[in-house]
Chain A
Amino acid sequence: DAGVIQSPRHEVTEMGQEVTLRCKPISGHNSLFWYRQTMMRGLELLIYFNNNVPIDDSGMPEDRFSAKMPNASFSTLKIQPSEPRDSAVYFCASSLYRIVGQEFETQYFGPGTRLLVL
């Protein structure tokens, strides 16, 4: 398997523009996580999905951020409109959540998307 795939790897945009980040999880995984990492705030969980359903989006900063998972093999994180303070590295990770035992297995992280909003 190719692992978790994220695109683009780098994105430079101007304030006010819409940004869409994409993630393809590992085949067979039923949970998907979006993280953001900045120097100031460290690593933060934005939202996670279980079987394509958002479970906890309490980490989503504000209404400018939205995430979707239309099917088991694709998710998007959208920022509209983007602001300079959104500049960060955005990671996607996937995992297998076992209902029996209610346990996540190891998360596999994508390489991240480095976003710069000017």
Chain B
Amino acid sequence: KNEVEQSPQNLTAQEGEFITINCSYSVGISALHWLQQHPGGGIVSLFMLSSGKKKHGRLIATINIQEKHSSLHITASHPRDSAVYICAAFLAGGTSYGKLTFGQGTILTVHP
């Protein structure tokens, strides 16, 4: 079992829908990272969070440390949101941030 699990693996939505991607982890972490990778291959860091909630435009990321769970929400989805979304957890370790472990990614397709 992976230390970081994402769901769903594939997600198809219609433009305008509210989207949620989930990330669960089974070990102690010091921070969680949400990444977006577009079909062209470029990677964009969306959020790095260790508690609470962060918002940027139509994107919202939340984390519940007790439940070992994070969610990425997209409001009013748009076809340009189509991408692979990856969560990655910095495992708590001897160094300040420890080892970074990745989920398998969620492929999101938003249809017009």
- What residues make up the interface of A, taking CB atoms closer than 8 Å to B? 42-45, 48, 50, 55-56, 58-59, 89, 91, 93, 95, 102-109, 111-112
The total of Cβ contacts below 8 Å across the A-B interface reads 58
- What residues make up the interface of B, taking CB atoms closer than 8 Å to A? 31, 33, 35, 41-45, 47-48, 50, 86, 88, 93, 95-100, 102, 104-105
In the complex, the answer to whether B41 meets A112 with C-beta atoms within 8 Å is yes
B36 to chain A, nearest CB (A): 10
In the complex, the answer to whether A93 meets B45 with C-beta atoms within 8 Å is yes
In the complex, the answer to whether A107 meets B45 with C-beta atoms within 8 Å is yes
Query: CA of A5 to CA of B47 in the docked complex: distance in angstroms?
Result: 21
In the complex, the answer to whether A103 meets B50 with C-beta atoms within 8 Å is yes
A95 to chain B, nearest CB (A): 8
